[in-house]
Amino acid sequence: MKPATEATADNYALGYAQRRSWVMWSWMYGAMLAAAGTAYALASVATGEDPETGVFMTLFGLAAAALGWLVSAPKRFTRNLPKPAMDVPRAEQAIRINKGVVIGSNILMALIVFALAFLTPRGTAPEAIPVLAVLSAWAPLFGVGLLRTTKLLAERGLRYARWLESR
């Protein structure tokens, strides 16, 4: 399908949704790293291992999330119209498939964690458990972000109209 060349109201709404998604992901990657680091640290403490790596991951993730929030602040609080997005068919495809991608990736990660834990020689060794905790935490958090992006795309018209009214 050939992309549109003229900006319509839906193109501006999609541009707004994509801007909101970018703002969210700018801090969320760091937050996901912080959460995974916390899982690593807690699993390390529970298994009697040194939690230093997990604590570092948590602090680094928090710093990255804060930096991402600061970098995205101008886009977060702008009153400027968004750039019109011309990839409406791709957004519609994402709305249709993202829920299945989240479910599939979480099932796949669960299978990977299970395989690493029970099918490898030292899968349940105390030093391996924190790594499994990181993998177990990462996929659901990424899924939450992807579902949030999907919701922003699906509700783009309503959200954009509300934003225009409050502008």
pLDDT on residue 130: 94
pLDDT on residue 68: 97
CA–CA separation, 86 and 3 (whole Å): 6
pLDDT on residue 32: 97
CA–CA separation, 67 and 90 (whole Å): 30
In 62-99, which positions are buried (b, 16+ CB within 10 angstroms) versus exposed (e)?
A: bebbeebbeebeeebeeeeebebbbebeebeebbeebe
pLDDT on residue 167: 84
pLDDT on residue 135: 94
pLDDT on residue 3: 55
Q: Which residue ranges of the chain lie beneath pLDDT 50?
A: 1-2
pLDDT on residue 27: 97
CA–CA separation, 101 and 63 (whole Å): 29
What pTM, to 2 d.p., does this model score? 0.86
